[in-house]
Structures are given as C-alpha cells and as structure tokens.
Structure 1
Amino acid sequence: MILVTGANGLVGSYVCRMLLQRKLPFIGLVRKTSDLSLLSDIKDSIQLEHGDLRNPQELEPIIEKVNIIIHCAAIVSYSPKEKDKIYRVNVEGTENLVNLSLSANIEYFIHLSSVAAIGRSKPSGTIDESEKWDNGAWSTRYAETKYQAELEVWRGMAEGLNAVILNPSLILGPGDWEKSSAKLIKYVWDEKPFYTEGTLNYVDLRDVVNIIIKMLDTRLSGSRYILNGGALSYKDFFELTAEKMNKKAPNIKAGKWMTMTALILQKIKSLFSSKEPVITKETARLSKNKIYFDNSKIKSELNYTFVPLSDTIDWICEFYLKKNTN
C-alpha cells in the first residue's frame, strides 16, 4: 500500500491518477480543510485519509497501513507572512514523516523536493546535483525550508531509510492558475505587458509523475535527481504561450525601477486582500537569474527523455482555453 501526501495538490493529484490507472493500491493524505477540486472526478474512486503533517499523532495510524510513501505535500510561498507556516509544514512536517517512516519500517520513501533546495552561489551558470547549499543572496525562505526538509530525509537515510530525493524545476501542468507555476499562464492570459531578462527552468508535470512511477519500479535510493525539461528566457516562454492562447505577449522589459514600483504596488495590494503578492523581493531577484539545472544524471540513469516544451505548452494552454471559454 502506498501513501501519497499532498494528494490534492498539482503533483499529488496526478500521482493519484497514475496509481489508479496502474491499479496500485494507495491512500491519499489530505487535510480536513483541503481543496479537493483537482481530485473532483476521481475522489469517489480513491481512498482519502485526513491528516496534518504537523501532527504526528494523526499520521501514525495511517502510516501503519502502508509500506511506501510518496511525499508530495509542501507549501510553495515567497510571502513573508507565510514564513512560519511553510517552515512548520515543509520542515517539521517532513521531519515527522521521516521519524514515523523509520519507526514503521517503511520500505521506500520518495521525497519530492525542488531545485530551490540545491542552492546557488551565483546568478548564472550550470548547476547539478553536486552543488553545495549556499544560504546567500540567491536563496529564499522557501528554498531554505526545502533544503532543511531534505536534511531530514538525508538523516533518515543515514538511519536506514530507503529513500530518494527528486528536485524538479518549475512544474508546468494544468491546475489552479491562481497558484504556483500556473500564475505564469494567467499572467499571459491577462495580457500583462512586462517581462524580466532571466531564464526559466521548467519540467512537464507528466515527466515528474512518470519519473516517480519509474522510481517505484527501480527503487533507486540514497541519491538526489534534478528533474528539468530544459530552460529558456521568460520572454520566449511568454511569447510561445501567448501565441498558443491568441493573446498579446509581454513586450516591455522590466528594469530595476519598474520592478521596484511593482513591488511597492503588490505590497499595498496584499495589505487589502488575502491573496499572496505575485511579486516579492525574492521572486523579483530570482527572475533575473540565468541558471541552468543540469538534467543529465536522471536522463542517464533512467534512460529518460523529457517531454518537448511545445507539447507541454499545447497541453496546458488547451486546458485553460477550454476552461475559460466555456
């Protein structure tokens, strides 16, 4: 029996679909207050259990029922207001899950991390799995929590846990475009005018889930793998997406003063709404980076070929076009 944490999220919901398709028994872990919209068409066909990663007492009876864990649950946020919450969920939640896994002798643990956890000491160049963490100018609060969560998994491995760490770049897939990477699609849909000069590393949601399934088959462990389909400029990404959605692409390069003005406006806007600001100091800084995350390790060890970006853009744009024109 497999446990999928964060079963209602973008990756977790798609993992559930793949496990259902392969007829593998699993439990989807969600909180009582979780939004289940991404599971709406399959929730009656799958077993869901309520539990909060921050409460090990809730998790213990669920983990006793499984022998494999796919840990997808996390909070992705760059808002200073979310600092304490993302630490409790991403770090303490993973710590609780690793401790319970060791106690229950879990056979295999797949930890979905992020390239953010690999760290970077420079704003450009190529980074692979050997890069050392650097909590400097190019780090973020979110990245730090993902790094600390990984430390818990590495600690679990040292104590005998059979585990693997997957580090996807920006995951592109159909979902709620008010959240995470899908905000980029909505940005194009709304015909926003500005773009930054940085590089976007991306990976198709289907690639992430296919590799998770391959890990179940191969049981690779004791290592980490970058999952990155490729990289291109934000300008090129916006233009490709806009063309597919018949929208006007952003065509004004955002300079330093324009970015600072946008930051101030976003901060004011967030004071009068419950929504997280689209632009923060951290996201503004990262959007100018020209980093490439090397995917050669996963391609070599799994003989894996990533989905072409054109197919990814077709897939997600068709989803949002259908959803917003009906």
Structure 2
Amino acid sequence: MILVTGGTGLVGSHLLYRLASNNDKIRAIYRSEQKLDIVKKVFSYYTDQVDPLFNRIEWVHADLLNIPDLTEAFNGITHVYHSAALVSFEPNKYYLLKQINTLGTANIVNLCLSLNVKKLCYVSSVATLGKSLGNAPITEDTFWNPEEDNNVYAITKYGAEMEVWRGTQEGLDAVIVNPGVILGSGIWDHGTGHLFNRVFKGSKYYTNGVTGFVAVMDVVEIMILLMNSEIKNENYILVSEHWSYKQFLQSMATHLGVSLPNKEVQPWQAELAWRLDWLRHKLTGHDRFLSKQLAQTINSKSAYSNEKITSLLHYNWTPIEACIQTISKHYKSDN
C-alpha cells in the first residue's frame, strides 16, 4: 500500500488523482476535513468520475509530529510519497517551519526505517540548492553554503533533506525531487494559485527576477516514474523552463483576460518595502508579507539544469505557457 503525506496540498492532490487512476491501494494523511474538498476539486479537472476515484483513497487523520497517529497511518505501507510541508518565508515562523519540515520529515524517515518501507520519495525544493559561480546553471551537485543569508524555508527544507540522506545511510531506499516554482490548479488562497488570484484582482506590479517553473503534473509523473524504477538515493532538479516574473505575471494576466501588470518594482524599492513590512509587523503583529531574503529572491536571476532527470527519463516537459493557460481556465471556472 502507498502512503501520501500532504494529500490535500498542491502536489499531493494531483498525485492522488494519478495514483487513484492507476488503481493503486492508497492511504493519504489529512489534517483538516474541509481541505478534502480541494482534492475533489482537483480530481474534477481531470474526470467526471470524481467520487469513484476519491473513494479509492483511505483517508487517515494524522499529524507529522504525532508519532502514535503517524505510526498507525504507516500500518501495512510499502511506499511513501512525502509531500507535506509548510511553505513560509517569514523569519518569525522559523521554529514552526523547523518542526513541520525538518522534524516531521525525520519522523517519516524513522518510521520508514523501523517498519521496513521499501522506498520513500521526498518532495524538496530548488531552494535547498546552493548558488553557482558566475552564470553556470545550478545542478544537483551545487554546494549549499550554510553561511549564506538563506531564507528560513530553505534552511528547514535543507534540514529535511539531510534527514532523508541519513535514512539512506541507515538502509532506506529514497529519491528526492527538487522542483522549481510549481504551477497547478486547485488551491487559490496560497502559493502560486494565490498569484492567479492577485493578478485577476488587478495587481499591477512585477519584478525582473528570473527563476525556474514546472507544471505540477510533470512533478507527479516524474515522482511516480522514479518510485517505480530501481533508482535510489539520488536527487533530481525538476524545472522545465526559466521565465522572468514579468513574463510569468503578464502571461497569467493575458490568459485571465485582465490588464497586464505594468509597474516594475526596482531592487531598491523591494529593499525599502521589506523594511517597512518589518516595521508594520512589529507595530501591529500582523504576518510578514515580504522578508529580506524574499525581496532579494524576486529580483535575482537563477538558472537550474534539468539535464540529469531529462537524460535519465527522456522526459517531455509541459510547456509553461500551456500550463498557465490551463490553470487560468480552471481559475475562471472556479471563481
């Protein structure tokens, strides 16, 4: 039986559709019953047979930090897809991020080892990769420098990767995927889905930073291919194309049928904005919107090499333009 953590998240929900379509025996962890509707919504993008597929999944209420509940969820499990994570760049949420991302992954790894799980697939991020010298693309071997001013999300996801690699040293077979910015339909209140929400409502601002993007179903398909292979103890960058944030946001606006963002945020403006945001947080206690590290990221230009996974699987990536078009269609139908 297959266990999926983070089953109500973006990667997890699309992964569950593919696994359910394959008639695999699946158990999925959830924390909130309301979020189960997200999974059904995602299924509806692919099929009219939502309930039959959804009912193939055995849902278990569990928390990554609750060992007894988690142990019960692992009963009879042979393969684990670990996609659960907290995504936040707010410095004051570091300890919460560390609990969920790093300690939660350690718990998953320990249970895989103690219960003789055959294989683990961990969904990490390109955020855990180091910075290359000059203009060379970042690869799976690019050195992570802990002395850099890394954001709190990257630090805790890197710690999670170290837990997975520890597991491989203790006998666990595992693969790690490092996706870029994942694009997919179904979750509109946070992540990349929230960007569709903001652009649709008239956001006018963009930056000229560049990063790597990938369709969620490409991430899912590659995860399944890796888990069904003999490959173990390797990590793979999953990025299909590199776009500027300007190109990305303006393509989104075009497909949503709204005005294009047309005001460029200069690096100095982003630097000022994060300081003002910090002050607002201190005075009001409201969550941070823009951290120092995030302000730098949205104006930086990063290039990632997908050669390792592309040459291994001869994979044909989904064009990002087509992906944005599909998501925009789903957004408009949902809203």
Stretch moving more, 23-32 or 115-124? 115-124
Determine the structure 2 residue equivalent to 1:230: 241
Q: Equivalents in 1 of 2:117, 2:295: separation in Å?
A: 40
1:33 CA displacement: 6.6
Alignment of 1:116-195 (within 5 A): 116-120=127-131, 125-137=136-148, 139-195=150-206
Q: Equivalents in 1 of 2:277, 2:331: separation in Å?
A: 25
Structure 1 position 2 matched with structure 2 position 13: no
**1:96 alignment partner, one of 107, 116, 120:** 107
Determine the structure 1 residue equivalent to 2:321: 310
Gaps of 5+ in 2: 41-49
Determine the structure 2 residue equivalent to 1:259: 270
Gaps of 5+ in 1: none
Determine the structure 1 residue equivalent to 2:14: 14
Q: Percent identity of the aligned residues? A: 34
Q: Equivalents in 1 of 2:282, 2:181: separation in Å?
A: 24
1:258 CA displacement: 2.4
Task: Classify 1:152/1:197 alpha carbon distance in 2 versus 1 (closer, same or farther; 3 Å).
Answer: same
3-state secondary structure, aligned to 1:164: strand
3-state secondary structure, aligned to 1:291: coil
Paired residue type of 1:35: K
Paired residue type of 2:333: K
Q: Equivalents in 2 of 1:243, 1:92: separation in Å?
A: 42
Stretch moving more, 64-73 or 189-198? 189-198
Task: Classify 1:305/1:49 alpha carbon distance in 2 versus 1 (closer, same or farther; 3 Å).
Answer: same
Q: Equivalents in 2 of 1:220, 1:266: separation in Å?
A: 45
Task: Classify 1:85/1:34 alpha carbon distance in 2 versus 1 (closer, same or farther; 3 Å).
Answer: farther
Q: Equivalents in 2 of 1:5, 1:271: separation in Å?
A: 37
Contact 1:125 1:290 in 2 (8 A): no
Q: Equivalents in 1 of 2:188, 2:36: separation in Å?
A: 15
Structure 1 position 210 matched with structure 2 position 218: no
1:114-134 CA-to-partner distances (Å, cap 9, x unmatched) read: 111113266964100011111
Q: Equivalents in 2 of 1:123, 1:187: separation in Å?
A: 34
1:195 CA displacement: 1.3
1:34 CA displacement: 6.8
Contact 1:91 1:145 in 2 (8 A): yes
1:79-117 CA-to-partner distances (Å, cap 9, x unmatched) read: 123211110010001111111111111001111111111
Paired residue type of 1:117: T
1:263 CA displacement: 2.7
Q: What's the TM-score once normalised by structure 2's chain length? A: 0.90
Q: What's the TM-score once normalised by structure 1's chain length? A: 0.92
Determine the structure 2 residue equivalent to 1:81: 92
Paired residue type of 2:71: E
Q: Equivalents in 1 of 2:28, 2:283: separation in Å?
A: 35
Stretch moving more, 244-253 or 162-171? 244-253
